[in-house]
Chains A and B, each alone.
Chain A
Amino acid sequence: SQQGEEDPQALSIQEGENATMNCSYKTSINNLQWYRQNSGRGLVHLILIRSNEREKHSGRLRVTLDTSKKSSSLLITASRAADTASYFCATDASNAGNMLTFGGGTRLMVKP
């Protein structure tokens, strides 16, 4: 069953703006990961944040994790048209043997 819920389901912004996507989950986790998927393509791993971490940066990406609220956010700063894709969060739940459960995804469109 899907654990992660993402919002918004779709987001349309102008190039240069920031994009924020949120993910909520239900059970305790080992880590939470964010992936990107271009239309009809495979997944690209963006960033992993462990349950004992609160914030992580990678280039223009910033991920936060609030385990008390069971939520995470992905911020893409200074967006580019090439950032247009679907973004998924995935949780690696405790005792699940690194099985990932994916959220519904956010479809991001960045207009040039």
Chain B
Amino acid sequence: GAVVSQHPSRVICKSGTSVKIECRSLDFQATTMFWYRQFPKQSLMLMATSNEGSKATYEQGVEKDKFLINHASLTLSTLTVTSAHPEDSSFYICSGAQGAGETQYFGPGTRLLVL
């Protein structure tokens, strides 16, 4: 199957700093990438959908100025958590799909801890 990587796998940062998470499709071109957040023992919540070369579409309740998403190429999307706070501590998972209606392939996730 198609492979999606995320970097870093784990990050600890101080409150107020910004953190960038990369999501890469290694062996396919991801026209669409999705970003999810998962709190402990909870399900995945879709944060935003991004199509290559265009602005991301954010789900209700997700602040676009706080969670900056860039999908500049068909193999890379980045999520930047700006001015991170402890409540942003979570597991962030991305996925990529080759197109509308295509299967999503998930990355291994990034665990963010904000102190």
Which residues of A (81-95) have their CB < 8 Å from a CB of B? 88, 92
Residues 74-112 of chain A: 1 if any B CB is under 8 Å from the residue's CB, otherwise 0? 000000000000001000100001111111110100000
Binds B, one of A14-22, A35-43, A51-59, A63-71: A35-43
Task: Other than A98-B101, A102-B43, A104-B43, give 10 A-B pairs with Cβ distance below 8 A.
Answer: A2-B43, A2-B45, A30-B101, A42-B109, A43-B93, A45-B105, A88-B44, A97-B100, A98-B97, A105-B43
List B90-108 residues whose CB lies under 8 Å from chain A: 91, 93, 95, 97, 100-108
- Please tell me if B42 contacts chain A, counting CB pairs below 8 Å: yes
- B44 to A102, Cβ gap below 8 A? yes
Total A-B contacts with CB atoms under 8 angstroms apart: 56
- What secondary structure prevails in chain A residues at the interface with B? strand
* In the complex, residue of chain B having the shortest beta-carbon distance to the beta carbon of A9: B41
Whether B104 lies near A98 (C-beta < 8 A) is yes
Classify the interface of chain B: helix, strand, loop or mixed: strand
Please classify how large the interface on chain A is, using the bins under 10, 10 to 19, 20 to 34, 35 or more: 20 to 34
State whether B111 touches A100 (Cβ < 8 A). no
With contacts A40-B91, A45-B1 taken as known, whether A100 is within 8 angstroms of B104 at the C-beta atoms is yes
Decide: B93 and A42 in contact? CB cutoff 8 A.
yes
Q: How large is the interface on B (under 10, 10 to 19, 20 to 34, 35 or more residues)?
A: 20 to 34
Q: Is the CB of B101 within 8 A of A104?
A: no
* A contact set with B: CB distance below 8 Å: 2, 30, 35, 40-45, 48, 88, 92, 97-105, 107
B67 within 8 A of A: no
Shortest B59–chain A CB gap in Å is 9
Q: Is the CB of B106 within 8 A of A99?
A: no
A41-B108, A97-B101, A98-B100 given; A103·B43 CB < 8 A: yes
Question: Can you offer 17 A-B residue contacts whose CB atoms are under 8 A?
Answer: A2-B45, A35-B106, A40-B111, A41-B109, A42-B106, A43-B44, A43-B93, A43-B106, A44-B106, A45-B1, A45-B106, A92-B101, A97-B100, A98-B101, A98-B104, A99-B46, A101-B46
